[in-house]
A and B are shown apart, each in its own frame.
Chain A
């Protein structure tokens, strides 16, 4: 069964600190992996999209890693800001013939406190 599991479920950090969010998946055949940021009451916003051959991808203070062998991804946030408080969702795209299916994780809720 295709699944995406994220940890931790929630996290509280102080402003300026770094943190790492984890995503483990059992999706086959793998197409790509995405990280989204969802602010409370808003729609998800794409942070990164990683294909099989990409190990690391950065978007400002956000750095995503992908280990296709162990089927794990992480999202590292550097020098956190209050505006980083949000839910971070890992999404894995699975190939299904000519189609693609997105398997969504439940997200990690991050709170950055002053």
Chain B
């Protein structure tokens, strides 16, 4: 999964705490995505960005905020973590809008107690 780096890889939070996940890419792609993956469910899109300075809501945006101040970085923030946000979070990038291949990061496992 070279080209997409997620930090941190693991984090444990208490309910109500805040944190930020960082996704960094070195492939100069326009499109960046944040997904969550939970047992028994397909990947669900949280937020995405079609370019520097732009963000948009996905399927499950509530409780999350994002920013894309620089083209290479896409940040996912949890202002007040809840146990329902315990999940594995994946960042992905894509070169094109339709048939462009998605490249995923290694994932960030977040546990909210």
Contacts and interface: CB of A to CB of B under 8 A. Distances in A.
Contacts of B107: 41-43
Interface stretch (A64-72, A74-82, A100-108): A100-108
A32 interface: yes
Interface residues of A, number: 22
A107 B90 CA distance: 16
B41 A32 contact: no
Contact of B105 (A43, A46, A102): A43
A49 B43 contact: no
Interface in B1-47: 1, 4, 40-45
Interface residues of B, number: 20
Nearest to A48: B101
B97 A102 contact: no
Contacts of A85: none
A51 B100 CA distance: 12
B42 A104 contact: yes
B42 A105 contact: yes
B38 to A, nearest CB: 11
A4 B102 contact: no
Q: Which of B40, B99, B106 has the most CB of A within 10 A?
A: B99
25 contacts: A32-B98, A34-B102, A41-B107, A42-B107, A43-B1, A43-B90, A43-B92, A43-B104, A43-B105, A43-B106, A44-B90, A44-B102, A44-B104, A45-B104, A46-B102, A46-B103, A49-B101, A89-B42, A93-B98, A100-B97, A100-B98, A103-B42, A104-B42, A104-B44, A105-B42
